[in-house]
Structure 1
Amino acid sequence: MLINDIPVSVNQGIIAMKPNDAFSSEYLLSWAEANMEEVVSRANGSTFLEISKKNFREIPFLMPNEAVLNQYDKIAKPYFQRIVSIQKEVNQLAKLRDTLLPKLISGELRLPPEMSEARQQDKTTVV
């Protein structure tokens, strides 16, 4: 499950829930996560589980009033934005690690002496 912020195309094996003025992406994702057991229980397949649109549409969908949805979005959106921000940072750090680690291992890059000493102290510290 994911929220996509760019246009995508999907095939018949994927069910896309498109946000609208009434239901935000965050609400739809939260609903899907909360109802995943029900989704899986209605899915079938020998290679991998797949749910038909017919079986998916039969799952009850909680439709709170506009005030409740607005309050949910007011609270939830900042958390989801933070998750996206952290994930972007994780991806950037992973790229940096993948770039630097081979160079450190091969000796092409060396740590400054003060960083090497700090690492040695970390290894010998007993907690």
Structure 2
Amino acid sequence: MSKKRTKYTSGCLAGSSGCQYIDLEHLKNFDISIPPKDVVDSFNETLKGIVPKLISNSKQIRTLQSLRDTLLPKLMSGEVRVKYDKEAE
């Protein structure tokens, strides 16, 4: 983007505290590229396989965080102990 265009874009932004927005009248002056349908379809097809995995991973992360938050204080206080078998190594 050219310096002139960057300056214009920055001037279009309004708001404070990280809540920036672009006035609708300024937005009308921007060119927006829309990809061809085959590119959009290919992108959507790719995401079909990724999104379910992301959702599954997010659920697993929340479960593991909950277990950590529950068990770690108990382990640290000695309320819960873990049996350790050196021969299992």
The TM-score by the shorter chain falls in which range?
A: 0.5 to 0.7
**Which structure shows the bigger proportion of residues in helix conformation?**
2
- The CA distance in 2 between the partners of 1:80 and 1:86, in whole Å, is 10
**Aligned-pair identity (%):** 28
TM-score by length of 1: 0.48
Query: Where in structure 2 are there 5+ consecutive unaligned residues?
Result: 1-8
Q: Which of structures 1 and 2 has the bigger CA Rg?
A: 2
Does the 8 A contact of 2:75 with 2:81 survive in 1?
yes
Q: Output the amino acid matched with 1:97.
A: R
Cα drift, residue 52 of structure 1? 3.3
CA RMSD of aligned residues (A): 2.9
User: 1:1-127, aligned counterparts within 5 Å?
Assistant: 41=10, 43-52=13-22, 54=24, 55=26, 59-114=30-85, 117=86
Please state which structure has a larger fraction of its residues in strand.
Answer: 2
Query: With structure 2 as the length reference, what TM-score do the two structures score?
Result: 0.63
User: What's the CA shift for 1:53?
Assistant: 5.2
**8 Å Cα contact 2:13/2:23 also seen in 1:** no
Structure 1 unaligned runs (5+)?
1-39, 122-127
